[in-house]
Amino acid sequence: MTERELGLLGLGSRSGALVVGTAGVRAALKRDELALVVVASDHSARTGDKVLRLARAKGVGTVIGPAAAQLGRRLGRPAVQTVGVRDEQLAAGFGGVRQQKDARRP
């Protein structure tokens, strides 16, 4: 993840366009509220299984970010394993998206 993309996460945090934490991200995915999911590079196997599988099933793109401690620091929080991006335009600023959002979704 680039420095620019980390900056976008900071911007998203200040604007309220992010969901931070695994439980919140999973809930937002279930409600079809996310355009992108960022997962820490050192995420747990359980987090990867739950969040990445659900994102894939919902057609939401995923990005592997920095380590959880660095991700949390950029958001002014303790270590964070997952971050959900609600805003489509903000999500479009991320280059390394592993899977594109399904075009059929509203």
Q: Which domains, from first to last, does the chain contain? A: 3-91 (3.30.1330.30)
pLDDT number for residue 58 = 95
Is residue 98 predicted with pLDDT exceeding 60?
no
Rounded CA separation 83/40 (Å) = 9
Give the pTM: 0.86
Confidence of residue 97 (pLDDT cuts 50, 70, 90): low
Confidence of residue 6 (pLDDT cuts 50, 70, 90): confident
* Of residues 104, 106, 105, 47, the one with CA closest to residue 84: 47
